[in-house]
Structure 1
Amino acid sequence: MTATLPTPSDLAFELAPVGLLVTRDRVIERCNRAFAGMFGYSRQQLVGQTTEMLYPSHSEYEDIGARGVRSMLAEGIHRDERIMVHRNGELFWCAVSGQPVDPAQPYACAIWVFEDLRPVRAVRMALTPREREISAQILAGRTSKQIAKDLALSPRTVETYRLRLMRKLEARTVGELISRLLGLP
């Protein structure tokens, strides 16, 4: 009796050097080795679980989810960089891209790619959930007005958070702030 060989598409999914994830209504249906390893779980521990367990807080799960729906409805895809949480509690940056199977129902079934940014960007300090959101937006090159619109805040509130981040990270300029957020000296 001969063993069934995996199909090329199964091999590509399982051995991809980035985390791959299939979700239905934000519940993990399938993930590859790289995804499970990135978060410190076995695949068996992840399948059937909500993706909320991978976020630092419930509010970040909700807020990022709402932004994802908006961008998938508008553009058919969602991309961002965000802070996620490892099983051991460590926070780390991820680049995330997601695409729904049916653009009219973004979370009914979606395919996600997660790239672990730990080798190039460290989370070196304790940030609040809102500071993490604003940091991710700053790193994406967005202006205070753009961030305010996206997060439903006033531009003045965004500026206050930006200044708080600069003080916390001892940055004198936005360029220094970006360097510090990226984990550069």
Structure 2
Amino acid sequence: MNEFETLAFDHAPMGIALTEHRIIRTCNLSFADMFGYKKPDLIGQSFRLLYGSDEEFHQIRDIGLKPLSQSLPYTDERLMLRSDGSRIWCRFRARTLTPERPLARTVLSFALIEDSDKGPQLTSRERDILLLLSKGQTSKEMARTLGLSPRTVEDVRSRLLKKFNVKNVAVLLSRLGGFRKPDT
């Protein structure tokens, strides 16, 4: 890259990272600043560093694979972990360079969501329900999967709708991105 290309990449108005199998191979200064790290400290690190738990890191892995494997971009909104332990609410976008193996080489971008830098705080139970909702499971199926009563699942769904200030699950999933069909 020439000097101007390097400047444009490092100072883009969003964080950009190139990953291989969820390992950060390079990133721009905006990405490092957003997450509170120095750029060299991120290179070679697993993206696990930016998630609150191993469970969260593993659960989110499969959410965008279908569009990526079809050479489509994937977008959602998510809470990410900064170096100081605080969370940031950001818009996440991904495009794979290897659709046959979507996570082999991926270009990712992160932009802070303007009006809220934290987003709703989710409990582990809420994250579990959200993941199963994204997979199209019914309340009864989720209850069986998680060993809960269907009423408990309904209560958690209701809390999620209130937290995200939406009227139904379809709008919730659409807002969290990637779960809607791509425009044709």
| Structure 1 position 153 matched with structure 2 position 137 | yes
Other-structure match for 2:56: 60
Which structure 1 segments of 5+ residues have no match?
138-146, 179-185
Other-structure match for 2:180: none
Counterparts in 2 of 1:115 and 1:130: CA distance versus 1, 3 Å: farther
Runs of at least 4 residues off by over 4 Å = 132-135
TM-score normalised per structure 2: 0.72
User: How far off is 1:122 after superposition?
Assistant: 4.0
Other-structure match for 1:20: 16
User: How far off is 1:70 after superposition?
Assistant: 2.3
Secondary structure at 1:160's aligned position in 2?
A: helix
Q: Which residue type is aligned with residue 78 of structure 1?
A: Y
Counterparts in 2 of 1:130 and 1:113: CA distance versus 1, 3 Å: farther
CA distance in 2, matches of 1:133, 1:94: 20
User: How far off is 1:8 after superposition?
Assistant: 3.5
User: How far off is 1:74 after superposition?
Assistant: 3.4
The question of whether the paired residues in 2 share the 8 Å contact of 1:57 and 1:129 is answered with: no
| Structure 1 position 162 matched with structure 2 position 146 | no
User: How far off is 1:7 after superposition?
Assistant: 3.9
CA distance in 1, matches of 2:37, 2:56: 21
- 1:105-147 Cα shifts (integer Å, max 9, x gaps): 2111111110012x41243664213525767x9xxxxxxxxx7
| Structure 1 position 123 matched with structure 2 position 118 | yes
Q: Which residue type is aligned with residue 163 of structure 1?
A: S
Which structure 2 segments of 5+ residues have no match?
143-152, 173-184
Equivalent of residue 74 in structure 1, options 50, 66, 70: 70
- 1:9-51 Cα shifts (integer Å, max 9, x gaps): 3222111010010001110001111100111011111000000
Counterparts in 2 of 1:126 and 1:102: CA distance versus 1, 3 Å: closer
Secondary structure at 2:64's aligned position in 1?
A: helix
Identity among equivalent pairs (%): 31
Secondary structure at 1:52's aligned position in 2?
A: helix
Q: Which residue type is aligned with residue 46 of structure 1?
A: L
Secondary structure at 1:127's aligned position in 2?
A: coil
The question of whether the paired residues in 2 share the 8 Å contact of 1:82 and 1:133 is answered with: no
> RMSD between aligned alpha carbons?
2.9
Other-structure match for 1:183: none
The question of whether the paired residues in 1 share the 8 Å contact of 2:50 and 2:82 is answered with: yes
